[in-house]
A and B are shown apart, each in its own frame.
Chain A
C-alpha cells in the first residue's frame, strides 16, 4: 500500500527528470552546496517571571543540490531546510527553500517551482523585496526567507530586463512560539490567519519588474499585486478564550523603485515603495543612503566600509513600522586575510524616540570548511509605542558554528 502511494508520488518528478535529462542529452553536472550549523544564544536579561532566560541551542541543515544540464542551460535545484530548536517547538521547522527548474534560452529565462528572488539596493531595510515571505521564526531582522512557489519569465536586452512573476500560493509568516525568544508576550496564533480575500492561501499574486544598468546607475521599478507579506497582528481570543494575536493579510498594490549610483568608492542608494496598505490607506516608505569603502585602510590589507542610511515610513511613529524615522550607521571591516575575517557593526537610531538597536557580527573561517560567527544584538531605550517594544529585553549574544558541504 505504501509502495503503491510512493510509486504514484514519484511518477511526476520522475517524468520531469526524464524529460529534462532527455532533452538536455549531452552533459549533466551535479553540485552540493550548503551547510549544517549549530547555534547557541545567551540572553543577557532574564524575562520577568516565566523563566525565559535559558540559553538556547539550535541546529540547522541547509543543503543545496543542483543538477545542471547542457552546460547550465537548464538548472534543477533542490534546497530543503530544517531547523531544530531546544526551547521553542515553533522554531523547529522544515521548509523547502528552493525546488525549481530554471531554463535559459538566449535572452529569455524561465523559472518554475519554489524559489527565492531578491530585489533591492539598501542594507538596513529591504523595502522593495516582496516576493518571498520572511521566515520570522529564524530571526526578526527579515533576512531569512521562506521558499515562494512561482512561475516567472524574464527577458534581457541592452535596454534593460523585464521580469514577470506569478505567485499562485501565498506563504504565511512564521513566528516564534511562547517558549521562544525573541517573541511577543501574546502568542501569535498562526493556525487562524485572517485573509482579506478568500479563506485560503491560493491567490494569483503577481509582480512585474523592469531593471537596467547603464553607466554608473543601476535602477529598477516594480509593481506587485497580491497579499502583503507583512501581516497586521490583530488581538483576538483563541478557541479556549485566551488572548492571542492573529496575523491578518490584505491584498495590496505596491510600486517599488530602486536606484544605485556607483562612483569610485562611493555607492549612493535609494529604495522607495508606496502601497495601499491594509485598510486601503496609501502610504509610502523609503530607505536612502551612502556607502564608502576605505581600501587597504591605515596601510593594512583590510578594507573598511562605512554605511549611513535614513529610513522613513509615512505612517509615522504610531504606525506599524519600527523604522519610521530612523538613521542607520554601519561599519564593515573586511580583513582580506586567509581566513576571510570580517566584522560588521551597526546601530539604528530612532529619530523620534530614544530607541536604539545595536548589533555586531564577527566571523572567520576555520580550516577549509568551517566558519564561526559571533553575533550580538542590543535594544536600548525602546518606548511602549515602538513595534520593537516587545523585544526590548531580548538582547542576546549568539555563537554559530557552520560546516560547509
Chain B
C-alpha cells in the first residue's frame, strides 16, 4: 500500500506549439494586452511608453503568432535528451529522457506528448503522458514501472522543478501562443549571434499557477530564440535561458540542440542537450493513450 512514487512532469515538448487553427482562435485582444502590460509594468516598476503601448502589444503579438505558425505543421517528433544539473560548486548529476509528441489539429486541442525517463536508473521506465491544454490544466498520467500502475495526476504544479533541475514544468510546456500576452520592446543584436538582429519581446503568462510575472525573449527573423529571461512574482530576474547549436530540419524547422538554464539567485544551472531530433516518425493518437503509456520504452 501507499508505495507509488509521485514525480510530476508537464513536459509537453520544448518548443512544441499548437496547430495554426488554435492560434487564431486564442490570444488576447490588443486592449487586454495593453492592460496586462500596464499592470505588470506598475508592479515591477518598469518604464512604459504609454503612447506607443498599443502598437508595441500588437507588434509583439504578431511576432509571436508568426513564430507559432512557422513552427507548426511538423506532425510528430521524437527526441532524446540529456540533462546535466550543476550546483553552485560545479558538481553535476545527469538525467536522460526520451520524448515523443504529436501535433493535434483543431481548435482548443493541444499537443499530446510522452516522456520516458532513462536515467537515473532507479527511475528508468517511469513515463508521463500529457494532453496539453492552452489555458486549462493539462491532462496528465504517470506510469510507475515497479508496480505497473498508471495514475492520473494533477498538472497544477507548473512552477515546480522538473526532475530537480532548473527547468520548471511550465518551461517545457508553456510555449503555446495562446498562453501569453505580448509586448515588443526593441531590436538589438542577438546574444550569441551578434551578426543577426533580434526582436526583444516581453510576454506575460495568462495561465494559472505560473511562477513568473513576465519573460523577455530574444528571437531572430527565423524565429530562433537565443535567450529568454524569466522574472519571478517579485519581479526579480530569476533565470536566464540560453539556446545554441541550432540545426534545421526538413528545410524548415529550427531546433536548438543545447539549452542552458542558469538560476541567477542560487547559482545553480542545468544544461539540456539533444542527441537526436526526428520529425515525421509516423506517430498517431493510438501511441498516446494509457495502453501505450504502459508499453512505453
Binding site for B on A (CB under 8 A): 29, 31, 33, 35, 66, 68, 71-72, 75, 102, 104, 106-107, 109, 116-118, 120-121, 123-126, 141-143, 154, 156, 158, 161, 211, 213, 218, 260, 262, 264-267, 293, 295-296, 301, 303, 305, 307, 328, 330, 332, 334, 336-338, 340, 342, 344, 346, 359, 361, 365, 368-371, 402, 404-405
Contacts and interface: CB of A to CB of B under 8 A. Distances in A.
Contact of B295 (A104, A293, A336): A104
B72 interface: no
Interface in B220-241: none
Contacts of A124: 1-2
Contact of B2 (A104, A158, A260, A344): A344
A116 B148 contact: yes
Given A116-B148, A262-B152, A365-B122, A109 B3 contact: no
A368 B93 contact: yes
B288 to A, nearest CB: 10
Contacts, number: 141
Given A154-B291, A213-B152, A368 B121 contact: yes
Interface stretch (B12-20, B103-111, B155-163, B174-182): B155-163
Given A106-B286, A307-B2, A346-B2, A120 B122 contact: no
23 contacts: A71-B281, A75-B295, A104-B295, A107-B286, A118-B147, A118-B150, A120-B149, A143-B147, A161-B289, A211-B290, A213-B141, A213-B290, A264-B154, A266-B154, A267-B154, A301-B160, A328-B1, A340-B164, A346-B1, A368-B93, A368-B120, A369-B120, A404-B121
A369 B152 contact: no
Contact of A264 (B4, B150, B156, B291): B156
Nearest to B87: A338
B215 to A, nearest CB: 19
Contacts of B94: 368
Contacts of A262: 139, 152-154
Contact of B164 (A68, A154, A337): A337
Nearest to B94: A368
A296 B137 contact: no
A100 to B, nearest CB: 11
